[in-house]
Homo-oligomer: A and B are copies of this chain.
Amino acid sequence: MFKLHSLVTAFALMGAMSAANAWETLPTQAPEPANNPSTPEKIALGQMLYHDPRLSSTGTVSCASCHNTMLGGEDNRPNSMGVNGQTGGRSSPTVWNSAFNKVQFWDGRAASLEDQAAGPVTNAIEMGMKSWDDVVARLKDIEGYQVAFKHAFPGENPISKDHATKAIAAYERTLITPNSPYDKFVGGDKSALSAEQIRGMDKVAELGCIGCHSGAAFNGAGMFQKFPMTPDGYLEAKYHFSKDKGVAEVSKKSEDEHFWKVPTLRNVAITAPYLHNGSVQTLDEAVQIMAKVQLGKELAKNDVADIVAFLSALTGEFPKQKMPTLPETTGKTVN
């Protein structure tokens, strides 16, 4: 993994970026891996699977339960709730614009949307299926899925884990929110941001926020970052940021402790609560905390207000979606 081990590196990177083109608009098309080009049939199937609670052991939890496409792409809870009321220790990242993440999950343990989609389904506290074989068996029992998989994946053995996760990923690549006030401003419409938002935009650059939150999706170039850089006793006692060791929970290496994927700032104003454990409820507070523990700065009240105003300008346009019709299970229950 490529990691930023110091603030100095972060600032150097930021310097390099702003020299080139620090302010990028969000592409309206997501990159697709060579082995999973999107098709309308895959996207339609993926939308069905994404919203289908029968992909969970109890038949009550779908991908959309924690990454709600009717909301900001998450669940407005500190920690997500999976089957049988179980909760984990992390906050759902938004699915909107996740196609622009270089890695997936807070600890970046999945390299692609396809890899990510496979995880929660068989996680005991998330969707709780015993195995993907069980998922595939359940899908094969549903006549409408036999048809939909065949359309999306003509050829041998249409219903498989590989195809299900590819379809879900293809659907997720359509979940893009372009045309935020920020994008309009960068695209040339200088009236799209208020004076306060423009001040916030300058401060975000000056302070160094975009050293990590760089690029069109404000989610960095794929490197991991330590959080908190400088732990603060008071904040630690209140928010327990360091309880979760981040990347190290997966790698089991001490040098990876408290390293995290850089999350997108796109739509951040509507995806409270904040940080990996969802412990911070307001954007004002999240901004102050990040400035303090990451950049060593105490922000004045008006700085916070300007930055929050700018961050609110990152809320994009959410595409109108048709509600999928899920094919019925006949003669069987999920439970």
Contact = CB atoms under 8 A, between A and B. Distances in A.
Nearest to A91: B333
A264 interface: no
Nearest to A282: B331
A76 B331 contact: no
Interface stretch (A9-17, A185-193, A319-327): A319-327
Interface stretch (A25-33, A51-59, A146-154, A218-226): A51-59
Interface residues of A, number: 48
A278 B323 contact: no
A86 B282 CA distance: 31
Contact of A68 (B53, B84, B282, B321): B53
Interface stretch (A36-44, A161-169, A236-244, A269-277): A269-277
A78 B333 CA distance: 7
Contacts of A84: 85
A283 interface: yes
Interface in A277-335: 278, 281-284, 318, 320-326, 328-335
Contacts of A68: 53, 326
Chain A contact residues, majority secondary structure: loop
A333 B329 CA distance: 35
Contacts of A334: 76-77
Contacts of A81: 58-60
A111 interface: no
A54 B76 contact: yes
Contacts of A278: 333
A59 B278 CA distance: 14
Contact of A75 (B59, B318, B324): B59
B58 A85 contact: yes
A330 B60 contact: no
Contacts of A85: 58, 83-86
28 contacts: A52-B70, A53-B65, A58-B85, A59-B81, A60-B77, A68-B326, A69-B323, A70-B323, A71-B326, A72-B328, A76-B328, A76-B329, A76-B334, A78-B333, A78-B335, A83-B85, A85-B86, A269-B328, A271-B328, A272-B329, A272-B330, A272-B332, A273-B333, A283-B331, A320-B322, A320-B323, A321-B322, A322-B323
